[in-house]
Amino acid sequence: MVYLTYPNISSKIYMLKIRQENKNDYEEVYNVIKKAFETAEHSDGNEHNLVVSLRNSSSFIPELSLVAIQDKKIVGHILFTKIKIGNNEELALAPIAVLPEYQKQGIGSKLIKEGNNIAKKLGYHYSIVLGSENYYPKFGYIPAIQFGIYAPFDVPSKNFMAIKLNEPDNKINGVVKYAKEFGI
Ligand SMILES: CC(C)(COP(=O)(O)OP(=O)(O)OC[C@H]1O[C@@H](n2cnc3c(N)ncnc32)[C@H](O)[C@@H]1OP(=O)(O)O)[C@@H](O)C(=O)NCCC(=O)NCCS
C-alpha cells in the first residue's frame, strides 16, 4: 500500500496564491478593501473608491495590482501606482488590504514581497509607502529621506518610507508627486 504524505494543511498560508488582478475580480476586491479598512487604525473610509479611480488613471500598472486567493476567494489585495520624483517615474504602495478574519497569517507580507519583486523586474528604482514604522521595515522599507525622497505633506520621517529596488542611473532627490486621484 502506498501512503501519500501531504504538507500540514492546518498551515493555511501553504494554500495561498498570489496573482495579477483581472476585471472579474473588481467587485470582490472592492469589498475586501472596504471590509479591511472598516477596522483599520488609519482610514479615510474611501480606500475602496480610491482603487476604482486609480485603475482608471494613467498611474495604473496592471501587473502591480495583485490579489491573494485562499479558500477559493479573494482575501487580500495590493496596489502600486506610478508617482513622480523629479523627472523619475517611481512607485507608491497603496493601499494594501487583507480581510480582517485572514489577517496576521502572513498574507500581507506575501503580497508586499511579491509586489516588490515584480516592481524590481519591471525596472522601477523605488517604491514608497506611508504607514507603520513597525510593519514595512520588515520588507526593507526605510525612511525615504535617506534616499533624498520627501513627502508632499507633513509626516514624521519614520512613517514615510521607501525601498530601493534597482540602482537609479541619476541621483534622485525630490518631493513625491502622487497620482492626482490621491487628492494630495
Ligand atoms: C496591514 C495589513 C494589510 C497586514 O496584513 P496581514 O496579512 O495581517 O499582515 P501579516 O500577517 O503579513 O503581518 C502581520 C504582522 O504585521 C503587524 N501589523 C499588521 N498591520 C500593522 C500595522 N498597521 N501597524 C503595525 N503592525 C502591523 C501585525 O501585528 C503582525 O505582527 P506579528 O507578525 O509580529 O504578529 C492588514 O492588517 C490590513 O488589511 N489592515 C487594514 C488596512 C490597512 O491598514 N492597510 C495598511 C495601510 S495602506
With b meaning 16 or more CB within 10 Å and e meaning fewer, what string describes 65-83? bbbbbbeeebbbbbbbbbb
How many A from CA of 106 to the centre of ligand 1?
A: 9
Domain-embedded: residue 95? yes
**Residue in this structure with the C-alpha cell 498570489, named with its chain if needed:** 18
Domain-embedded: residue 162? yes
Residues in the chain, pLDDT under 50: 1-5, 9-10
pLDDT of 96 reads 98
Q: What global pTM score does this model have?
A: 0.92
Domain-embedded: residue 3? no
Taking only the tens place, the pLDDT of each residue in 114-129 is 999 999 999 999 999 9
Domain-embedded: residue 1? no
How many A from CA of 112 to the centre of ligand 1?
A: 11
DSSP state of 179: -
Question: Counting atoms of ligand 1 from 1, which one is nearest the CA of 132?
Answer: 24
Q: What is the CATH number of the domain that holds 117?
A: 3.40.630.30
**Residue in this structure with the C-alpha cell 500500500, named with its chain if needed:** 1
Burial of 170 (0-12, 13-18, 19+ CB in 10 A): exposed
Closest CA to 80 of 39, 115, 36: 115
Sequence-distant (≥ 6) Cβ neighbours of residue 47 within 8 angstroms: 33, 34, 37, 95, 97
Report the C-alpha gap between 78 and 21 in whole angstroms: 9
Pocket, ligand 1, Cβ cutoff 6 A: 36-37, 40-41, 94-98, 103-109, 131-132, 134-135
Domain-embedded: residue 57? yes
- The number of folded domains in the chain is 1
C-alpha cell at 4: 501519500
The residue type of 149 is: I
Domain-embedded: residue 86? yes
pLDDT of 174 reads 97
Domain range enclosing 52: 15-182
Domain-embedded: residue 6? no
pLDDT of 171 reads 87
Pocket test for ligand 1, best of 18, 98, 114, 128 (most atoms within 8 A of CB): 98
Domain-embedded: residue 164? yes
How many A from CA of 108 to the centre of ligand 1?
A: 7
